[in-house]
Amino acid sequence: MLLKVDKIKVFYDKALILKEVSLEAGHGEIIALIGPNGAGKTTTLKTIAGLLKTSSGAIYLENKRIDHEPPYVRASMGIILVPEGRGLFPKMSVEENLEMGAFLRKDVDEIRKDMEFVYSLFPVLRERRRQLAGTLSGGEQQMLAIAKGLMARPRILMLDEPSLGLAPKIVDHLIDAISQINREKKITILIAEQNVYAALSISERAYVLENGSIVMSGSSLELLENPVIKRSYLGL
């Protein structure tokens, strides 16, 4: 198992946000975290990335405990978060943002190869490579955020609400791109999404978070057919 989150508790001030959350992700899997707004999806990803601290429980990367490591160490281990809000440098160009994504790397030739891959994945970024990131459309900014994350050459790429606020056509393109990344690069992907159908359609397994607890988990195909999921999240 590549990633194991074991019964973590996380507080904001004195409020308990995550209540003994456990999940696992294997090599090359796409894992979906689904649930309503405020369920704890973002908190889970931020805690795995090291941006929030656990009060109990543990996080393991290939059996090495990492929950006491700072965020920059976890990033150097290949745990990369693309946050809600995208986390771009708005006054830097598209290409400069991509270069910043590769900041921890020294393999110049491989960086160039990865740059070509993200440009092939999102051709509009090549067209806009000299344009300031802050002047891109919302969909283009989300493409750039994912591309910037890929430039770190992650082992685990965590995507927080990548479809939020985007038009359906753009969402379809992003979902296809995420599938392609996983298929061609074999990167493990954790995707936190309120767009439940999109998340379940591309993932192997999923966890349902409600009020800071995992209330359901299983294969994504099974969850798509689950009457509770259909009624509560898919409007069926």
pLDDT in tens, 34-82: 999 889 999 999 999 999 999 999 999 999 999 999 999 999 999 999 9
Residue 114 clears pLDDT 80, i.e. is over it: yes
Its pTM stands at: 0.94
Residue 236 clears pLDDT 90, i.e. is over it: no
Measure the CA–CA gap between 25 and 56, rounded to whole angstroms: 20
**What pLDDT is attached to residue 104?**
86
| Averaged confidence pLDDT in the chain | 95
Q: Extract the tokens encoding 64.
A: 């090495």
Q: Extract the tokens encoding 77.
A: 């281990």
Residue 230 clears pLDDT 80, i.e. is over it: yes
CATH 3.40.50.300 domain span(s) along the chain? 3-78+154-233
Kindly indicate the confidence band of residue 192, based on its pLDDT and cuts at 50, 70 and 90. very high
Four-residue CA torsion sign, 197, 205, 5, 68: negative
The CATH topology of domain 3-78+154-233 is Rossmann fold (3.40.50)
